[in-house]
Structure 1
């Protein structure tokens, strides 16, 4: 078994194209998509076109959900830009996506945790805004009762590979299109990878013998950054150009 894991594209069509080319170079056509496909000040329309063409097994992220649940007049700026670029067929596609999925019988897909698309799984945010790795006990608590050998999650944009005590593996592939961001839930904090590259993962093997390869793919991030700046999003422009939110 061999497949790619994509997540958190956030409307960055340039990064998605680079990842798809990298997959082709590896002779890899199968992939899964862990959601948050469109929201951002970039090119949600082109991203949607490519994703619908590829028809990868896909689950819905929290920002995908906002696009179909929130009134456009009340959307956050990144969601509103994406919403305005999408056609009704794209919104219908989002509405039909499940929040979780199991593939190959033992591979479980979620965006945040198995029960929440808005909760970090492999990281924790302290009350002072500092971000730390979740402890093994904290990670295992979220996996309690989950019958899967390989668990794929996203949402934090940070590539991680965690082995639980019982041998199950939890993998976050990182973000294809958004290497750094800020958020105010549960308190204000930054998530940042320190690289502008597009991130995804390649999974190979079988239950009990999973091999995880993280791919960090250079692309025309300067063009993506310039587009964000043109649309008045200096925060996104800086993050896309550097992989850092602050500084």
Structure 2
């Protein structure tokens, strides 16, 4: 089995198009691509991204920002969600409503956005009170995986590509972010997540002779076009992230 995993597009349609082209160049069909959520939120091209995703019909799970778009009133949304919401049509929102929180793909791969039970908590990473993002302890990572039978587990949310082997041999993979290489957050403590590159990230998973291997891929695209768009829409933080992979 060979397939691709994408996550955290965040309305960056140019990055998504580049990643999809790279996936096709690797000989992987679109029915062998899974999407781990957070599809639209951001100051970029949510509507265009939605049109493409609905056309492709990728296996997709719902992320926390996808949930905000269908659960919160427009007035209660943070800026990135509100900017995306204003571009989305009822059919895009109905698509989000129909997405599962978790799913099992082809009986072998468990998919979720963040953790199986909570969609806005990092699975593989933790944040210290001084804002340092670091690998979680094995005990904590293992606890989130309790009850999952599949030997390959995929998650997103942190935007950081990671692969962690559990004690029992199960593999957890975060493919990184297609469209948002850096951001800051104040939960549970103020911190920054910075990939350090503007390239779009995804992963290819191969199962040969009963074992999974992971290939992380970084894909160039017209990232400065997206940085300019973010700047025009009053988001210098996004502009810096998209231009460089770092926050200013």
Band of TM-score, shorter chain: over 0.9
Give 1:137 shift: 1.7
Distance 1:76 1:107 in 2: 33
Tell me how far apart the structure 2 counterparts of residues 20 and 79 of structure 1 sit (CA, whole Å): 24
Residue by residue, what CA displacement relative to the aligned partner does 1:54-97 show, whole Å, maximum 9, x if unpaired? 10100000000000000001110000011000000000000000
Cα distance, 1:208 vs. partner?
Answer: 4.3
Equivalent positions of 1:155-166 (< 5 A) are: 155-166=157-168
Find the counterpart in structure 1 of residue 7 from structure 2: 7
- How many residues align? The count is 246
Alignment of 1:17-32 (within 5 A): 17-29=17-29, 30-32=32-34
Q: Distance in 2 between matches of 1:36 and 1:178?
A: 10
For 1:161 and 1:141, locate their aligned partners in 2 and report how far apart those are by CA, in whole Å: 16
Q: CA RMSD in A?
A: 1.0
Q: CA deviation at 1:207?
A: 8.5
SS of the equivalent of 2:23 reads helix
Q: Secondary structure at the match of 1:174?
A: coil
> 1: CA distance between counterparts of 2:197 and 2:46?
22
Name the counterpart of 1:51: 53
The equivalent position to 1:121 in structure 2, one of 117, 120, 123, is 123
Residue matched to 1:188: 190
SS for the counterpart of 2:86 is: helix
CA distance in 2, matches of 1:207, 1:49: 38
> Where does structure 1 lack aligned partners over 5 or more consecutive residues?
none
Pairing partner for 2:218 from 216, 219, 223: 216
Question: 4+ runs of 1 displaced by more than 3 Å?
Answer: none
Instruction: Give structure 2 stretches of 5+ with no counterpart.
Output: none
